[in-house]
Amino acid sequence: MTPVHEDRRAIARLQRRFASVFRQRCFYLFVALLALIVAVPFVDDRERGRIVLQVLHMLVLTASVAAVGRTTFPFVVALLLGIPALAFQIAGGTADDAGAFVTLSNWFYLAFYLVAVIYLMRYVFSPKVMTDDKLFGSAAGYLMLGIMFAVLYTLAQRYDPGAFSVRPGDPPRAFYDLLYMSFGVLSSNGPGDIVVASQKVRAFVILEQVTGVLFVAILIARLAGIYPPKVETQEVEPGVPPS
């Protein structure tokens, strides 16, 4: 047996192991995403806080790989994007030049969340029976959209420090501020008290607003299409053929 076939068999075994452990894959992903969103404002920049965030990110990545890795290709792609993202994040917490590692980590996280959302939506909107796992998948996809755009805003602020500044020299926004703004935009409630000063970032804000509206509209249409329309029955008098 060639090394290529051995690698494929090893990947297939790992994929089956994930499937056996994470039977309700999207439910675990939904819970992990909620835990990450809730925990971010309660941890600080000290070593203990960074460890907590890294553990939560690891749980989200593991649950995401299990959720989208229903076939070999997305499983491998998720691993190739998720592992470097977590590795650069850990390296950024210990290296002297932390900014470069954090930026690389954010780029990999952005690609990872984009791929995960695409495959999740492909699974949720497939023309098969809607299950509880698919409903949790749609909720997890919505949360991942909010986090993905927050990462995008973080990268935009990295390259344009005044993207969310009212006055020149204002300190950069923390990630949770951008996450708060992202979910406000995604749910069409607006960016809150955060001022979007950059024209380019405003284009991303418009894109997120449109994405949030279309997501909800398409999901409602998908749920409505599950139930067949009622067929009106005519009362027929005995001995009279139906019209």
- d(CA 161, CA 156) in angstroms, rounded, equals 8
For 158-187, write each residue's pLDDT tens digit: 998 888 877 777 788 888 889 999 999 999
Query: Nearest CA to 100 among 91, 112, 109, 113?
Result: 91
- d(CA 56, CA 33) in angstroms, rounded, equals 8
What is the largest distance, in Å, between two alpha-carbon atoms of the chain?
A: 92
pTM of the model: 0.80
Non-local CB neighbours of 205 within 8 Å, separated by 6+ positions: 185, 191, 196
Tokens read off for 194: 């955060």
Each of the 243 residues of the chain gets a pLDDT tens digit; together they read 566 666 666 666 655 655 555 456 788 889 889 988 888 888 766 666 667 777 788 888 878 877 776 677 777 888 888 888 888 888 876 666 677 888 898 999 999 999 989 988 888 887 777 778 888 888 999 999 999 999 999 999 999 888 887 777 778 888 888 999 999 999 988 888 888 888 899 999 999 999 999 998 988 887 777 655 555 545 555 555 555
* DSSP at 57: H
pLDDT (0 to 100) of residue 75:
77
